[in-house]
Structure 1
């Protein structure tokens, strides 16, 4: 089974489960008239919309590159997360409004025991499906699946809080526990909605993937070759599951065009084999200068002007800058 087919099937599973559970939760609200249950049900409606959007975004992300999308369609998954976060923020606002109305005009919570059992069943299902989606999403490098699975985790947590509220109402006959739970759930999902929006904006604005940058630098440093004098202007971008990497590499200026091509191709192939996802890498070659001699240990260099003194380790601090490491001051 292909990766795209697996993603689509998991997205469809999430959508079907979300539809069934939202119906169960609204039936629980019909039985109990509980604000906490209504909060949980409203949050689950978002699951339906976001699961559908996530399924569509997964389909789009699987499409091949074309002339209008030279880097592929993977970024639509970040749009999916942003859509989900926006809906969560909207639901959070409505939850605060509804809970405030109940606080001002309290009403009896009916049949809390029946609602408790129904919600407990939905929480168990959400935890199970959420675990499957998050695990598969990390394995398949799909931010849409991971986001959808994490939302199901949050939905399950909301449901557990609602269950606790119903249990307290059942044993104490105090409806204030129901209102307090609604406020707490509203605050929690609002904060989570903001975080999802933040992640979406970061992905759409090409925020640096520092973790992946560190992995690339570590691989280059561990397998560093004498001809690779310097690496700088390193950039790593994510397009859904795919990676786009480009950098500048300083090579001996006396290398022939064929030798430069060979070293560049060597670096590109080396990095591409180190990641499980599709990785596109472009390397720009810069010629060395005599200022680099003291940091270059190229053996039998025919044009060396200074003896080798020390190697400059490659780090995040010096590889992402668009300048050759400490050479500008020496030239």
Structure 2
């Protein structure tokens, strides 16, 4: 019984739309920077260039990950999503470093930015667009368990925080006449960006290293197996890992020694269907063993 498609078409559409949104935000930020000459807005625009690159990377990753399993990749191509997410995390860190460099240079040569309502309007429009789209990507990415899409959303959300900090710094610098407030606040917001970047990298490395699902989900999987495996005797050696939207589940089922292969297969088929009802991306491997193969740490069924 082949598993259902783990990558609904709307995921790739979301990734393509992200590129268009990133380009629109970049254009708005470049206009705002050119109108003010603010180093903070310049740094903000630089980060948006990174946003365009990461949006393209996420789109390519999803396109490749959605390919069906083949002879060279029998378990599918889902892990490429984690590579894309690691790239996004690394680029978030690079963007933070670029902001630090520009802010330090501005501290050495402070200059009160030339603010205009139109320039601030462009920047606010970019921020609002980023915030709305970041929420959409994070929500859709979590629902579909797409690390590339969720990482793209977190990246955009870090950009929202950056722009908010930049605008606050500009306002303070202009209102107080202290130009150092502009680069100082640009430096302050990099802390949040670094935290976001590390969170994206850490989550992606867990997937690349085949980290098991969380304890609560592992227990839920075991409970589904127990509830749907009537006729079997014991469950043991349950192991799990995740690759994008796909959850790989492997375990041993102890069957009565006199049970026929046909009956054992019917139980396994029932368990697989139950697991896939709960998790449409589940890939299930069941090793059937006779009753003399029970394990002390096994879970009795029935």
Shift of 1:252: 2.3
Tell me how far apart the structure 1 counterparts of residues 296 and 208 of structure 2 sit (CA, whole Å): 29
Shift of 1:178: 0.9
Question: Which position in structure 2 is the counterpart of 1:325?
Answer: 297
Quick check: 2:239–2:249 contact (8 Å CA) kept in 1? yes
Deviation sequence 1:195-224 (CA, Å, 0-9, x none): 211112111111111153233123234x16
How many residue pairs end up in the alignment? Answer: 293
Question: Which position in structure 1 is the counterpart of 2:290?
Answer: 287
Rg larger in structure:
1
Q: Give the gaps of 5 or more residues in structure 1.
A: 293-322
Shift of 1:255: 2.4
**CA 1:29–1:142: 2 relative to 1, 3 Å:** same
Quick check: 2:161–2:189 contact (8 Å CA) kept in 1? no
1:44 to 48, 53, 57: 48
Question: Which position in structure 1 is the counterpart of 2:99?
Answer: 95
Shift of 1:47: 0.7
Quick check: 1:112–1:169 contact (8 Å CA) kept in 2? no
Question: Which position in structure 1 is the counterpart of 2:13?
Answer: 9
* 1:16-31 map, 5 Å: 16-31=20-35
Please state if 1:247 is matched with 2:251.
yes
1:272 to 268, 276, 300: 276
Tell me how far apart the structure 2 counterparts of residues 225 and 281 of structure 1 sit (CA, whole Å): 14
3-state secondary structure, aligned to 1:273: helix
Shift of 1:76: 1.1
Shift of 1:225: 4.9
Q: Aligned-residue CA RMSD in angstroms?
A: 2.2
3-state secondary structure, aligned to 1:111: coil
Deviation sequence 1:299-322 (CA, Å, 0-9, x none): xxxxxxxxxxxxxxxxxxxxxxxx
Deviation sequence 1:118-142 (CA, Å, 0-9, x none): 2111111111112222222233332
Deviation sequence 1:54-81 (CA, Å, 0-9, x none): 0111111111111111111111111110
Please state if 1:232 is matched with 2:236.
yes
Q: State the TM-score, normalized to the length of structure 2.
A: 0.88
Shift of 1:243: 2.1
Quick check: 2:252–2:287 contact (8 Å CA) kept in 1? yes
Tell me how far apart the structure 1 counterparts of residues 111 and 170 of structure 2 sit (CA, whole Å): 14
Question: Which position in structure 2 is the counterpart of 1:175?
Answer: 179
Q: Give the gaps of 5 or more residues in structure 2.
A: none
2:64 to 55, 60, 64: 60
Please state if 1:219 is matched with 2:224.
yes
Quick check: 2:234–2:298 contact (8 Å CA) kept in 1? no
Tell me how far apart the structure 2 counterparts of residues 76 and 247 of structure 1 sit (CA, whole Å): 26
Tell me how far apart the structure 2 counterparts of residues 147 and 118 of structure 1 sit (CA, whole Å): 25
3-state secondary structure, aligned to 2:278: coil
Q: State the TM-score, normalized to the length of structure 1.
A: 0.81
3-state secondary structure, aligned to 2:78: coil
